[in-house]
Amino acid sequence: MPVVEISDVRKYNKAVAVLVRLGGTFRTKPDRLFIVSPVQHQALADAGLVQSAPEKPKKRS
């Protein structure tokens, strides 16, 4: 599952709107992090809110 971080408040609010319109489930974490499906990530990329290649989740040690 791609992890998306959006630091800009306006982009974050727009991302929430895009994800809600798209439907499905997504998770939010503190510090404006989303855990989304690949389809949702592509929708965010199409909206210009994230890069087109999803970031790999960071492994916790």
The string of DSSP codes covering 16-56 is HHHHHHH-S--EEETTTEEE--HHHHHHHHHTTSS-SSPBP
Residue 32: give the domain boundaries: 3-46
Q: Each residue of 6-59: pLDDT tens digit?
A: 989 999 999 999 999 998 889 988 888 999 999 999 999 999 998 776 556 666
Say if 20 falls within a structural domain.
yes
The total number of structural domains in the chain stands at 1
**pTM score:** 0.77
Say if 54 falls within a structural domain.
no
Say if 39 falls within a structural domain.
yes
Residue with tokens 């998306």: 4
Say if 57 falls within a structural domain.
no
Say if 58 falls within a structural domain.
no
Left, alpha or beta for 57 (phi > 0: left; psi -120 to 50: alpha)?
beta
Say if 61 falls within a structural domain.
no
Identify the pLDDT of residue 40.
Answer: 93
Say if 55 falls within a structural domain.
no
Residue with tokens 């990530």: 41
